[in-house]
Amino acid sequence: MSTKLSALLCVVAAAATGVLAAPNCPPLGPVFEPARNFNGSAAIRAALANLTETLGARDVDNGPGVRANETSYSLEVFTTDEANPLLFSWHHTAPTLAKMSGNGTVGVQRTDANTVYRLGSLTKIHTIFTWLAEDGDAKWNEPITKYVPELAAAAKKAKDDPVANVAWDEITIGALASQMGGPIRDYGVLGEVTQQLNQSTMVGIGFPPLNSSDPTLPKCGIHPLCNRTEFFNGLLQAYPQYAPFTTPAYTNTGFQILAYALESITGKSFESTMNDRVLKPLGLKHTYLSNAPASEGIIPGSREDASWDFQLGDEDPAGNLYSSVGDISALGRAILRSTILPPSLTRRWLKPAALSSEPNAGVGYPWGVRRIRLAEANGKRMVDSFNKAGRIGYYSSLMTLLPDYGVGFSILIAGPNIPGNTNFNLADILGPQLLPALETAAREEAQARYGGVYANPSTNSSLRLTTQPDRPGLGIENWISNGTDMQTISVVLAAGYQGVDPSIRLYPTGLETVRPDGSKRVAYKAVYEDLNVPAKPDSMFSTDCGTWVSFTSVTYGTHALDQFIFEVGKDGQVKSLECLALRNPMSKT
Ligand SMILES: *[C@@H]1O[C@H](CO)[C@@H](O)[C@H](O)[C@H]1NC(C)=O
Ligand SMILES: *[C@@H]1O[C@H](CO)[C@@H](O)[C@H](O)[C@H]1NC(C)=O
Ligand SMILES: *[C@@H]1O[C@H](CO)[C@@H](O)[C@H](O)[C@H]1NC(C)=O
Ligand SMILES: *[C@@H]1O[C@H](CO)[C@@H](O)[C@H](O)[C@H]1NC(C)=O
Ligand SMILES: *[C@@H]1O[C@H](CO)[C@@H](O)[C@H](O)[C@H]1NC(C)=O
Ligand SMILES: *[C@@H]1O[C@H](CO)[C@@H](O)[C@H](O)[C@H]1NC(C)=O
Ligand SMILES: *[C@@H]1O[C@H](CO)[C@@H](O)[C@H](O)[C@H]1NC(C)=O
Ligand SMILES: *[C@@H]1O[C@H](CO)[C@@H](O)[C@H](O)[C@H]1NC(C)=O
Ligand SMILES: *[C@@H]1O[C@H](CO)[C@@H](O)[C@H](O)[C@H]1NC(C)=O
């Protein structure tokens, strides 16, 4: 190290200071603290004005992807900021709703934040939230067989014949929560053709006849619903899709089984646990696991055609819920703010459990994870979003969480012929307006709060913090420490700088120590980069963005050269900044 170090230090004299060129590689996560002064941001005001115009026009001209002439929808953009919990809302009632809903005899005639829609699979988030609120995730690596005895008996058969039998003792609770268990998608209820079409029709289109005594022919499903015994008898006839932890494979049965497991842990019905742990504590008065009152609902057709009354029975935890956008937003805020779960558990929950075959997507518990590149902010700035969509009958839904911004979308849709992707089409309208605006607003607030010169004249130490529209994080410039050019030395030490583009930028870590008087210490991480290294976008193994590997690679007396602490007064004003390794706080001037 010392030879390398002294060799590097020799380079310093020869190096010229250049203009920043290549993109920075920020750490995963927010590059600024989330914006809070939404009203004061011109970028957000412009985004919201654009959304108002865009959605208004679509609702009238029946634009593609939404079919607003016969589709009603409610959407909200919510935030974790208590002063501004709602950033944007939009409610569209299809002009044909009254006619479709029996001329106003069924359900509400105008949709608003409290209108009840069906959710379909968005229910799965409520189910996992209920589990986490009740029991945490300590059991998530335990086999499901420990809590569901019917499956324990079956697991042995998979040892001899893994093609035909599910290895239930290898499927963990976390595997079911993250769609990594691999059992059959549904039993009897959804997708089982014999529950929907008669035998002669099926034989007519090429399927073989099934003997009515064939045990694989479900005797229950939609009509009548299977009870627990029938469900397991049927489920154990089904081949696995995959061995556990092979590939994400969507399964509704997993959530029914999880609810049985939770019932065995709590000794209470799943419904009462959901009520006690989630719906009541959050005051979700327009959310129902089953049989919601039609008077609160939007029902664009007969109750039967819309599937308003259709119940999934024991499969309710996979997709039966009814809720309003106001309640979905309240749920999303509670997740992002960790009002029920400990913050470390929330952070663990809002991470992918597996990759998928799509490079910018992954699978969580059971989030769909979408990785969004923010080109405007910087070529390598990635915003991860955690989504859950659903569809049932005449309804479609989507909740999107953006932890980097403390912001989310709630989207609920009702209509007889909803184009399949309407929920994501609406998110595709919101996201491209809002994400860049949220990033800009956060950057402008960071500039206002932290930007400026920090100095300790008694030690001849100073630096300037600035932001730039095309750069992530807070840039450090002109850093002198104790009379020394620390701007160059630090990049030499931390990044082996030898070129012409040294870069130092600070990113929030989320670590804060708040004192009783409200003053606080706020920790930021610096990324030291030599931007004059060749980009390697097409290399098979080499990377040009591996920031996480080199954190804290230089310490001086244990303290990191890349750890910076802001001191913030009880008045909220930033007082000083200290690089931990240098032990030399500089006051904001
Ligand atoms: C921001 O504007 C909204 C809508 O005009 C208002 O409801 C809210 O109170 C304002 N928030 C702040 C913090 O001024
Ligand atoms: C909204 O923004 C998009 C993308 O920048 C732009 O194409 C569109 O014209 C804008 N619409 C309105 C009504 O401002
Ligand atoms: C709504 O618009 C679509 C496409 O433009 C059309 O096919 C459909 O018939 C319209 N529905 C009603 C109820 O007018
Ligand atoms: C609604 O009213 C119209 C006009 O009065 C009538 O033709 C139609 O049959 C009614 N529809 C229903 C579902 O009651
Ligand atoms: C099967 O269903 C078809 C289509 O609904 C119907 O025409 C036919 O009569 C049914 N056959 C029997 C045997 O029920
Ligand atoms: C159906 O299965 C039963 C019992 O195995 C058998 O007795 C019967 O002959 C079968 N019926 C047909 C039509 O194959
Ligand atoms: C489930 O239904 C079957 C009839 O299909 C019945 O024999 C059994 O007792 C039921 N089990 C439970 C737990 O209700
Ligand atoms: C500054 O450097 C001098 C030696 O040149 C040293 O005595 C002093 O302790 C240093 N102060 C700080 C704050 O690093
Ligand atoms: C502080 O250090 C810088 C960089 O070494 C030097 O140019 C400057 O003259 C010093 N200022 C004082 C007041 O010593």
Q: Which DSSP symbol is given to 276?
A: I
For atom 11 of ligand 9, the residue with the nearest CA is 460
Q: Which DSSP symbol is given to 323?
A: E
Which one of the ligands is nearest to 480 CA? 9
428 lines ligand 2 (CB under 6 A): no
Inter-residue contact 584 to 482 (CB < 8 Å):
yes
DSSP E strands in 112-257: the ranges are 117-118
Identify the pLDDT of residue 543: 87
**Domains in the chain, CATH or no CATH each:** 3-36+448-588 (no CATH), 67-189+225-418 (3.40.710.10)
Pocket lining for ligand 7, CB < 6 angstroms: 227-230
Identify the pLDDT of residue 19: 45
Q: Distance from the CA of 554 to the center of ligand 9, in angstroms? A: 25
Which one of the ligands is nearest to 461 CA? 9
104 lines ligand 4 (CB under 6 A): no
Which one of the ligands is nearest to 194 CA? 5
The answer for residues whose C-beta is within 8 angstroms of residue 455's C-beta and 6 or more apart is 461, 462, 463, 586, 587, 589
For atom 1 of ligand 4, the residue with the nearest CA is 103
Q: Distance from the CA of 99 to the center of ligand 4, in angstroms? A: 7
Per-residue pLDDT tens digits of the chain, which is 589 residues long: 455 565 555 544 444 444 446 899 999 999 999 999 999 999 999 999 999 999 999 888 887 788 999 999 999 999 999 999 999 999 999 999 999 988 888 999 999 999 999 999 999 999 999 999 999 999 999 999 999 999 998 899 999 999 999 999 999 999 999 999 999 999 988 788 998 899 999 999 999 999 999 999 998 888 788 999 999 999 999 999 999 999 999 999 999 999 999 999 999 999 999 999 999 999 999 999 999 999 999 999 999 999 999 999 999 999 999 999 999 999 999 999 999 999 999 999 999 999 999 999 999 999 999 999 988 777 789 999 999 999 999 999 999 999 999 999 999 999 998 988 999 999 999 999 999 999 999 999 999 999 999 999 999 999 999 999 999 999 999 999 999 999 999 999 999 877 778 999 999 999 999 999 999 999 999 999 988 877 777 789 988 899 999 999 999 999 999 999 999 999 999 999 999 999 999 999 9
Q: Which DSSP symbol is given to 16?
A: P
Q: Distance from the CA of 216 to the center of ligand 5, in angstroms? A: 22
In 3D space, the residue among 357, 355, 335, 359 whose CA is nearest the CA of residue 346 turns out to be 335
- Structure-block tokens of residue 585: 């706080």
Identify the pLDDT of residue 532: 81
Which one of the ligands is nearest to 99 CA? 4
Identify the pLDDT of residue 7: 55
Identify the pLDDT of residue 16: 42
Phi, psi of 566 (to 5 degrees): -90, 140
Best residue among 70, 92, 418 to mutate for probing ligand 3's pocket (most ligand atoms within 8 Å of CB) is 70
Please state, in angstroms and as integers, the Cα–Cα distance from residue 511 to each residue in 474, 560, 563, 565, following that order.
17, 15, 11, 10
Q: Distance from the CA of 430 to the center of ligand 2, in angstroms? A: 11
Q: Distance from the CA of 199 to the center of ligand 1, in angstroms? A: 61
